[in-house]
Amino acid sequence: MHIEIPYHPRPLQQSLHNELAQKRWSVVVCHRRFGKTVMAINHLLRDAILNTKPNPRYAYIAPTYRQAKAVAWDYALEYTRDIPHIKVNHSELRIDFPNGARFRLFGGDNYNAIRGLFFDHVCIDEFADFPASAYPTVIRPATVDRKGKITIIGTPKGKNEFWEMYEYAKSHKDWWCKMFKASDTDILDKAELKEAKAAMGEDRYEQEFECSFEAAIQGAYYAMEMKTATQDKRITKVPYDPSVGVTVSWDLGIGDSTSLWFAQFVGQEIRIIDFYEMSGVGLDHYAKVLDEKGYHYKEHILPHDVKVKELGTGKSRLETLDALGVNNISIAPKLSIDDGIQSARSMLNRCWFDEEKCGRGIEALRQYRREFDEKNKSWRGRPLHDWTSHAADSFRYMSVGRREVQEWGEPIKRNLRGIA
């Protein structure tokens, strides 16, 4: 049977198809309006039609299910409309082909829906917007038994997991990667690009059209403070001073990441000497990490909900930490997020960061940003919840917790044996 898909790739897209066919793992960094989504959908559809394995499975994953449905689903329907004997399931965003192949759309906001499924090829679109745990815990394992392909595509949004994956691909021969800048592809009219740059501003244009991982993130809360810290060379090597106690601030995730900042307060200087983040482990893991780092701990600042008792154990996390030997705990005051962000901004102007040990935390502070309302094209008055949230929340708890110290003297130290 002769099947023709009404898709005519540009020369650059055709070269991309050729490369993707050769490698199992690929990372593609594209400028806006490159046509990456159309390219990705058609690549998956063609593979699905030609696959002769039993029950081939293909997945396109957008950052959210809503995005997958609003954009990619229309493309999938358009390019399969002339294929006979297909079965379309609109409620599951699924297309079944006569050869037994199945193509389906998912959203990264509910990546656990992929658990238990297998795939011959997965395309992850706008990887920079995905939760950090989605790829290693769910998406990558879904391709193991079929030795399936993974294609990661997107536009930069700072040095997050997308940047890390791109850098990894550059140094590993089993991977293929490519960056497509608007100034190199000639897909878009130069006069249009000039107008876009004037309207968008330098940073956003560099990010969106020149694929810069270095450009400032739009809507970032701490963009100016982190830029100043970089210019002042306060992101450098910051050694641990054993004569000064270490303050640890915590953001405790429930089924999500827990983030710890390690700081030494020396006069007006705040020396951020370390950062640690992990997910999917118990509090005993973090107690062990504290011991292994070997710092002399002065205090631990935790959020107010640490005192809430858990239904499963009947104990609060404060009680659990105390039993694990984590004492001298201060509870951060319950302020509004806006007040906390203002406090953090003030503290950032006094901070020195260890560039190596705090790398991921530093990048989280740079990228922590407001949520954008796509419908109304405006910034919402609340932060976007993504991979940056826990590091930013932990830093905010440190700032408001230490403000209590500065305003009221030594804080009350709480533990199970009473007031220290």
Q: Write the pLDDT tens digit of every residue in 127-183.
A: 988 887 889 999 999 999 999 999 999 999 888 889 889 999 999 999 999 999 999
Nearest CA-CA partner of 300 in 252, 237, 365: 252
Counting DSSP H helices and E strands in the chain, the numbers are: 15, 19
List the beta bridge partners of residue 27. Answer: 152, 177
Q: Which residue has the tokens 């030494």?
A: 264
Per-residue pLDDT at 6 exceeds 80:
yes
Decide if 251 is inside a domain.
yes
Looking at 156, 186, 209, the residue that finishes a domain is 209
- Residue 199 in any domain: the answer is yes
> Is the four-CA dihedral 407, 230, 388, 318 of positive or negative sign?
negative
> From the CB of residue 416, how many other CB atoms can be counted at a distance below 10 Å?
12
Residue 169 sits in the same domain as residue 233:
no
- Between the alpha carbon of residue 348 and those of residues 230, 269, 275, 382, the distances in Å are 11, 10, 15, 20
Residues listed for the chain: 420
C-alpha span between 390 and 96 (Å, rounded): 40
Average pLDDT over the chain, rounded to whole? 89
Give pLDDT, residue 413.
Answer: 40
How many angstroms separate the CA atoms of 404 and 2, rounded? 73
Mean pLDDT of 298-311: 87
Q: Do 366 and 256 lie in a common domain? A: yes
Q: Using the predicted structure, report yes or no on whether residue 276 has a pLDDT greater than 90.
A: yes
Using CB atoms within 10 Å of the CB of residue 319, give its burial: 0 to 12 exposed, 13 to 18 middle, 19+ buried.
Answer: middle
pLDDT in tens, 226-262: 989 999 999 999 999 999 999 999 999 876 789 999 9
What pLDDT score does 41 carry? 96
Q: CB neighbours of 3 closer than 8 A, spacing ≥ 6?
A: 49, 82, 83
Is the same domain home to 104 and 166? yes
CATH number, residue 272: 3.30.420.280
Which range, of 19-23, 84-88, 95-99, 128-132, averages the lowest pLDDT?
128-132
Number of structural domains the chain divides into: 2
Tell me: do 153 and 233 sit in the same domain.
no
Domain contains 1: no
Residues 169, 229 within the same domain: no
Give the structural domain span for 92.
11-209
Both 228 and 205 in a single domain?
no
Together in a domain, 170 and 319: no
Of 148, 181, 209, which residue constitutes the final position of a domain? 209
Q: How far is CA 323 from the centre of its chain?
A: 33
The residues facing 107 across adjacent strands are 62
Q: Which long-range contacts (CB under 8 A, 24 or more apart) does 78-85 make?
A: 78/6, 79/5, 79/6, 79/7, 79/41, 79/42, 79/45, 80/5, 80/45, 81/6, 82/3, 82/4, 82/5, 82/6, 83/3, 83/5, 83/49, 84/1
| pLDDT computed for residue 386 by the predictor | 84
Residue 326 belongs to a domain: yes
More confidently predicted of 3 and 189: 189
Residues 189 and 228 reside in one and the same domain: no
Same domain, 73 and 23: yes
Domain presence at residue 215: no
Inform me whether the pLDDT recorded for 315 exceeds 90: no
Res 377 pLDDT > 70: no
The answer on 183 and 76 residing in a single domain is: yes
Domain final residue pick, 158, 174, 209: 209
Q: How far apart are CA 79 and CA 59, in angstroms?
A: 16
**CATH for 115:** 3.40.50.300
Question: What is the per-residue pLDDT across 382-397, written as a single tens digit (0 to 9) for each?
Answer: 898 888 999 999 999 9
The conformation of residue 136, written as its DSSP 8-state character, comes to: I
According to the model, what pLDDT value does residue 410 have? 41
